[in-house]
Amino acid sequence: MDTTLQDPLVGQVLDGRYRVDARIAVGGMATVYRALDTRLDRVLALKVMHPTLAADGSFVERFIREAKSVARLAHPNVVQVFDQGTDGSYVYLAMEYIAGCTLRDVLRERGALQPRAALDILEPVLAALGAAHRAGFVHRDMKPENVLIGDDGRVKVADFGLVRSVDTVTSTTGAVLGTVSYLAPEQIEQGTADPRVDVYACGVVLYEMLTGDKPHSGDSPAQILYKHIHEDVPPPSALVPGLAGGLDELVASATARTPEGRPQDAAALLGQVLRTRAALSAEQLDALPPQALTDGHDNAEDRTSVIPRSLTVPRPLPVNDDDGDAGADHTTRLATPPVPERRRGRSRRLVVTVLAAVLVVFGVGAGVWYINSGQFTKVPPLLTRTEAQARQRLHAAGLDVKQVKREYSDTVDRGKVVRTDPGPGARIRDNDSVTLVVSLGPETVNVPDVAGQPLDKARARLKADGLEPGMVSREFSDDVAKGSVIGTTPGAGTKRHSGSAIAITVSKGSPVDVPDVTGEDLDSARQDLTDAGLKVKVAPDRVNSEYDKGQVARQSPGDGSQAAEGDTVTLTLSKGPEMVEVPDVTGDSVDDAHKALEGAGFKVDEDRGLLGLFGDTVKKQSVEGGDTAPKGSTITITIR
């Protein structure tokens, strides 16, 4: 059964712009939908906060504040935030839609990955986190569920610090068991979270990719948390024999139990990952995970065999020396009849012939070795080394520098090698040349001045200058026309990395005071709102209220609010008051009567008169017990 059919948001248009097409996922704090931006005609992901959390003003304020900050974090491996807004009780984020799956889906389906695949996923994750750490963000909830792998192979990290889980430790759901598996010890003990908690989580994710299993397990979250604090993450080779030692060292470094023992942030860990990869051979990178070794296939043709030297070069026969010993193995020679001189000379010639043959064989063998191996060498690992260091290592390996190219890089410092062509470990002829690609550091551009321009033109200008239009927020302005840009964050003239997201503030025009139309009939309310320059939307559901059936029970936004001209006010109509049976309180004390009537949902008024000034007994009630009256209405009790 399609559960999206039961979701009231599917098929609706939020904020007059985002058409909700399908539900993708449900989390503890929000639901994610696939939606269409009807203005720009593009598919995106809409993350809608659960209404129970949306009622908490401070939570919503923090959600919006952090969303604005994350929108300025532009990186090709970060899921981009485009917009944020509210529609009635719905608070939402409009985000980049990634068609594909999560790393959790991959691990669930395939189990352990080859080291090359695991590093191919880890490196863009660390690049994204490194950009976040430099911008002052800590993800705090890194796990395979937050690593998205697109159908085109792109790897992106989602949920950058938008919300912090409030019950991660105490809940016992399966989702939380997944979360506690990646918590750093200091998160558990002190509740602190700096970039090194993300480094720890990435180390655990790497372990899981290499082994197909989490490093710590238990029957409850408490057991897992205890192990994180008191036990080291085991080396992955303990579960997958044959894994390279460098991978064990990488996991151990990232998951050190004390923060001081880990790389200081994701960028530092990325550098360590690149160095580890460069030091691994192709065989080590392509080592088959455990499940691939037990599929019944011999793999004999896939393995590289080592042929013993004794089978490649004929061993010379033992040659008798002048002392009578067998020169090859020094075995004592048995006494033999004397050898005639002529035979002795022939024997010596035979020895010379055999030695010559042996030398020829060795010479031919050496020639074959030289042709097959001696003319070749491997490109040494040069990543993150300075250009001078790279040249020195190439010259030491008998190689030349063909040319030096330079390009911008967000992850490699200026002046250091980004990559080589051919790459590290590649087989290359002696005295051949290698191309070095050296980092220029991050590319920076000036933020253009787009104030006063329509939003679509401002976005186009930012893209033309190498920047990404970020989240759009809207504010009232008496000076800037509705729909035009008030300003950007960061402001015009600020230098930013190429590709950075620039938040845009757009004018909602002059504010309009929203009139109070509660208690009015629909036609009258519609007219009042239209006269104020506002649009009207009627909610499909009606509610009980103190107002008569068909009158406006409530409105959003309410009285005293301000809206932009052309904004929509949602009206909820009344289906009349709820009728409730009135308790019989005649003869009760005044206190008991109050408790009974107020408990049933009524207000209470007292009529004491002159005779009831000192009385405490109810003699009469305005609506007799057993009859019904509108909930919330007033019942008058007469006291004597």
- Beta strands 444-446; 495-497: pairing state: antiparallel
Helix axes 115-134, 266-279, angle to 10 degrees: 150
Say how far apart CA 19 and CA 24 lie, in whole Å. Answer: 14
Write the CA distances from 170 to 53, 176, 225, 257, 322, integer angstroms: 19, 9, 11, 22, 88
Helix axes 103-110, 195-211, angle to 10 degrees: 20
* Cβ neighbourhood burial of 438 (10 Å; 0-12, 13-18, 19+): buried
Token readout for 372 is 């097959």
Q: Which of 141, 265, 410, 588 is catalytic?
A: 141
Sequence-distant (≥ 6) Cβ neighbours of residue 535 within 8 angstroms: 529, 566, 567, 568, 569
Say how far apart CA 206 and CA 246 lie, in whole Å. Answer: 13
Look at residue 314 and give its three-state secondary structure: coil
Q: How far is CA 492 from the centre of its chain?
A: 30
Look at residue 627 and give its three-state secondary structure: coil
Q: 251, 235 in Cβ contact below 8 A? A: yes
Q: 192, 145 in Cβ contact below 8 A? A: no
Sequence-distant (≥ 6) Cβ neighbours of residue 219 within 8 angstroms: none
Say how far apart CA 68 and CA 495 lie, in whole Å. Answer: 19
Residue in this structure with the two tokens 């963000």, named with its chain if needed: 137
Q: 417, 439 in Cβ contact below 8 A? A: yes
Catalytic-residue membership of 141: yes
Say how far apart CA 315 and CA 325 lie, in whole Å. Answer: 18
Task: For the chain, state the CA radius of gyration.
Answer: 39
Q: 428, 379 in Cβ contact below 8 A? A: yes
Among the listed residues 474, 610, 470, the one whose alpha carbon sits nearest the alpha carbon of residue 86: 474
Backbone angles phi, psi at 453, to 5 degrees: -85, 150
Say how far apart CA 583 and CA 87 lie, in whole Å. Answer: 41
Backbone angles phi, psi at 239, to 5 degrees: -100, -30
| Position 61, amino acid | E
Helices (H) and strands (E) in the chain, counts: 17, 29
- 156: number of Cβ within 10 Å: 21
| Position 423, amino acid | G
Transcribe 464-490 into DSSP letters.
Answer: HTT-EEEEEEEE--SSS-TTBEEEEES
Say how far apart CA 502 and CA 74 lie, in whole Å. Answer: 8
Element (H, E) at 195: helix 195-211
Q: How far is CA 73 from the centre of its chain?
A: 13
Instruction: Please tell me the number of Cα atoms within 13 Å of 612 on its side-chain side.
Output: 15
Transcribe 554-580 into DSSP letters.
Answer: EEES-TT-EEETT-EEEEEEB--PPEE
Catalytic residue annotation: 141
